[in-house]
Amino acid sequence: MKIVPISQLLPGMFVQSVTKQTGRIKIKNQGWVKTQAGIDKLKKAGILEVEIDPDKTLTESVPEKQPLDIPTPIKKRDPWQKVHSAEQEMGKAKKLYDEARTLQTKAFKDIKAGRDIDITPFRELASGFIDSVFRNQDALACLTQMRQKDAYLLEHSINVSILMSIFAKHLNIEKDIIEELTTGALLHDIGKIKIPDEVLNKPGRFTEAEFEIMKNHSLFSKEILEEAGLTGIAVDIAGMHHERLDGKGYPFGKKGEEISQYVRMASIVDVYDALTAERVYKAGMEPIKAFKILKDGCPDSFDPVLLNKFIQCIGIHPVGTLVRLSSQKIGLVTESNPATPLKPVVKTFYSAKHSRYTEIKDIDLASKRTLDSLESAVKAKEYNIDIERFYKNTILS
């Protein structure tokens, strides 16, 4: 076999596969390129390089049998298409989230006991996440906001996995790649179980020595996944999600083009979830503030193009965010609205004006009949709202 640039491809050559392209084209079968017009069509489709079989090159007439099936662009999905309503999907999403917590807990115990982890159930769970996201991403997105302060290690990886699957779907990445991304994200921090508790759970700033210990978790994650038989994208995400474009990340100090698009995606999602997470010693940040910090890290740390797409993907006020409307009603964003991101569906249940709970009502801010508008994101503690009780009795019921 021989790899040649498209400029050197000639009629009569037998194309085995596409090795480099600008798009996402698939050739349905191998075969001979019959004409220059066929080659021109390949060029137009974005093919840059192909693998040929020189032994099959024809010097005379090209047979009609086994012609090369000229590629056609893969039809892009509508990333916002919703097969189910958020309410219909919530039960399945909640079951998946609970399974993820159980699976993570077992994996941590296995590693502490010196046993290898079984990757198969993680792949199956990742596939379940993806199916749920494709039915209606709002259900799982909402669950990423229902955090427990003492469960950060468990929930962070689950949330990053869910957000990665939503992000990848938005970018129209192929499903088999999304599974790798989602699996890698589920396990990206598994190495933290090998970090001493006094460092891992320290509430304040790390000393230089403690930070050096903490940085090892990425290497531990990489080693654990490799020992379990994983390779490729999932391992890259586990080992390199703290790498930064300017080379000042860890553990390898990679920079620029050494960091793949998938790892760049993971680094954005990882930091976003860490900033917005509720912890015992730190209140979670509003999404819009987290976005500002990420923006400030562009282009030195984060890819600005991917960051903008991530913000577009989950919205300025993501599903699950508590918001105040201009009417002073307080509610939870329950459905995204890609056409007008600042006008989602909000489930209101509290009056800031009268400091009391009200009748629960779904308000579609994009409706022409709605006079209300979204004013800002708020925190439940500002109004002494028992948000966990609201989640349990309303969203998850």
The per-residue pLDDT string of the chain (397 residues; one tens digit each, 9 = 90 and over) reads 788 888 888 888 888 888 888 766 666 567 788 788 888 888 877 888 888 888 777 755 444 444 455 444 444 556 656 778 888 999 999 999 999 999 999 999 999 998 889 999 999 999 999 999 999 999 999 999 888 777 888 899 999 999 999 999 999 999 999 999 999 999 999 999 999 999 998 888 899 999 999 999 999 999 999 999 998 999 999 999 999 999 999 999 999 999 999 999 999 999 999 999 988 778 889 999 999 999 999 999 999 999 999 999 999 899 999 999 999 999 999 998 877 888 999 999 999 999 999 999 999 999 999 999 999 999 999 999 988 888 878 887 6
Strand partners, 17: 51
At residue 174, what is the residue type?
E
pLDDT value for 74: 45
Contact between 77 and 25 (Cβ < 8 Å)? no
pLDDT recorded at residue 23 = 67
**Per-residue model confidence (pLDDT) at position 79:** 62
Question: CB of 271 within 8 A of CB of 310?
Answer: no
- Residue that has been written with the tokens 């480099």 in this structure: 20
Domain positions in the chain are 2-73, 86-314, 322-395
What's the pTM value of the predicted model, to 2 decimals? 0.78
Residues 6+ apart with CB under 8 A from 357: 349, 350, 351
Residue 300, CA distances (Å) to 37, 170, 230 in order: 44, 24, 30
At 77 the pLDDT is: 58
Nearest to 86 by CA among 145, 28, 38, 3: 145
Predicted local confidence at residue 66, as pLDDT: 46
Q: Phi/psi at 151 (nearest 5 deg)?
A: -125, 30
User: What is the DSSP pairing of strand 31-32 with strand 47-52?
Assistant: unpaired
**Distance of CA 356 to CAs 40, 255, 322, 388, Å?**
69, 52, 16, 17
Instruction: Give me the pLDDT at residue 391, please.
Output: 85
The confidence score (pLDDT) of residue 61 equals 47
**CATH code reported for the domain at 86-314:** 1.10.3210.10
Per-residue pLDDT at 234: 95
